[in-house]
Amino acid sequence: MDSIRSRFFWQGVGNKKKYHMVRWEHLARPKQFGGMGFIDTRAMNKVLLVKWLVRLDSGESNICLDLLRRKYLGGNSVAQQKKRGNVSQFWQGVMNVSSWYEQGLGWKCESGALIRFWEDVWMEECPLKLCYPNLYTICQNKNISVAEAFEKAWNFDFRRGLSKRDLADWRELVGKLIKVSVTKKRDTPIWKLEKLGKFTAKSLYDYKMTGGVDKIQSAEQLVSRKWKGAPLCKLCKERETGEHILFGCPVAVVVWCWIRDVFGWEAIPSGFHNLQSSLGETSTMRASGLVLVASVCWALWKTRNNWVFNNKLISNPKIPAYQTIGYMKQWAKMHPKSENLLEDIKQLMGGMSCW
């Protein structure tokens, strides 16, 4: 459909073919973001399918939604639903867009039964597994719900004893959990891409069409273009998306933890959607934050490509951190406020020495 439309706009009168001077993705970008505003039908179809997931999690009741909940969800949220075989083609198509849905999903905790304690956004601006990666790594039940954790009085089963740093993270987490109250009401989904917290197809469509992270040639993107490889991260075997490469992979988590500790951020970012809040926490970061983000992302991208294409895996997670500092030094010469950027570099080097 999109190819037919693109030929119509470019080819003009007659059958003579003409050059496509601008990529279709740029033409389909919303006008407020510099595009022509043509609708990308594939993306819009996925956005409209996401609306089904929103209605299922919100508790809206009608014959069709009640039937889908009984047949496939069984009292769980969409994110809690495990993959099953022998499902209808419609349900398979709806679940294929669940990753789009989760990118803007947050929760207001009531009963806690529909919320995954570690993996959903409910208490912070990102999942707790990213705020406390060490605790998440050693937790045995990573899919525990908030309701189940509350019933256990926030006592988790860890695979080993807690180190000093783990204990510090644990005390900080418990201090926040004490303030959590659980009721008998149904948990309420909140759409993080809208100020009012209600889902709109426009907000998700604009986010996906302007979010550069989704344009990265990750394994998932290549598979969608008929690449025959596996859509998994070569390092951790998770689904490899652009956000996974830059924020979710263990190497990326380590690098962002270093940045967090150096600049005193409350948590590491889980994606570009909540990175801005961290960058605005210090006056220095407001001026040079984009250079820092670009340096970190470029170092992680180069590290990933070296492993995937050259079979060269880094021996130490400090290597991409040193690469980040190297890129910042190179780009500082072109930065209008190089004094602030050089100050950031000194701060990062100081944090590296005690890492």
Phi, psi of 232 (to 5 degrees): -120, 150
What pLDDT is recorded for position 81? 86
CA angle 120, 139, 354 (to 5 degrees): 95
* Residue 255 domain-assigned (yes or no): yes
Co-location of 318 and 226 in the same domain: yes
Q: How far is CA 127 from CA 28, 133, 202, 295, in A?
A: 31, 10, 24, 24
What pLDDT is recorded for position 215? 62
* Residue 290 domain-assigned (yes or no): yes
201 token code pair: 């197809």
What pLDDT is recorded for position 112? 94
Under DSSP, the state recorded for 257 is: H
Q: How far is CA 219 from CA 36, 304, 313, 330, in A?
A: 29, 11, 17, 30
Co-location of 257 and 140 in the same domain: no
Tens of pLDDT, residues 10-68: 665 566 666 666 777 777 778 776 677 888 888 899 999 999 999 999 999 999 999 99
Co-location of 77 and 159 in the same domain: no
Tens of pLDDT, residues 295-334: 999 999 999 999 888 888 888 888 999 899 888 888 877 7
Phi, psi of 145 (to 5 degrees): -85, 165
Tens of pLDDT, residues 243-285: 899 999 999 999 999 888 888 888 888 887 677 666 654 434 4
- Decide the pairing of beta strands 105-108 and 188-191: antiparallel
State which amino acid sits at residue 180: V
Give dist(CA 89, CA 72) in Å, integer. 13
What pLDDT is recorded for position 190? 95
229 token code pair: 């490889």
Q: How far is CA 323 from CA 181, 256, 300, in A?
A: 44, 13, 9
Q: What is the dihedral of CA 159, 165, 170, 171, to 10 degrees?
A: 150
Least confident of 74-83, 137-146, 284-293: 284-293
DSSP letters for 262-287: HHT-SS--SSGGGHHHHHTTSHHHHH
Tens of pLDDT, residues 204-237: 998 888 764 456 778 877 776 667 778 889 889 8
What pLDDT is recorded for position 77? 93
What pLDDT is recorded for position 241? 87
* Residue 182 domain-assigned (yes or no): no
Tens of pLDDT, residues 149-175: 999 999 999 999 988 878 988 998 999
Of 196, 206, 195, 190, nearest in space to 44 by CA: 206
What pLDDT is recorded for position 13? 58
Co-location of 45 and 25 in the same domain: no
* Residue 124 domain-assigned (yes or no): yes
> Three-state DSSP class for 231?
coil
Co-location of 330 and 268 in the same domain: yes
What pLDDT is recorded for position 106? 94
* Residue 89 domain-assigned (yes or no): yes
Place 110 in a pLDDT band, splitting at 50, 70 and 90.
very high
Give dist(CA 47, CA 242) in Å, integer. 19
Task: Name the residue range of residue 266's domain.
Answer: 216-353
What pLDDT is recorded for position 185? 93
* Residue 183 domain-assigned (yes or no): no
Q: Is the pLDDT of residue 177 over 80?
A: yes
Co-location of 7 and 149 in the same domain: no
β-partners of residue 105 are: 191
Share of the chain above pLDDT 90, in %: 40
Q: Is the pLDDT of residue 187 over 70?
A: yes
β-partners of residue 188 are: 108
Co-location of 202 and 62 in the same domain: yes
Q: Is the pLDDT of residue 1 over 70?
A: no
Give dist(CA 155, CA 118) in Å, integer. 14
DSSP letters for 301-321: HHHHHHHHHH----SSTHHHH
What pLDDT is recorded for position 278? 62
* Residue 185 domain-assigned (yes or no): no
| H runs (alpha helix) in the chain | 2-11, 24-27, 41-58, 63-68, 89-95, 98-102, 128-131, 133-138, 146-151, 164-177, 201-210, 219-224, 242-243, 250-263, 275-279, 283-310, 318-332, 338-353
Place 287 in a pLDDT band, splitting at 50, 70 and 90.
very low
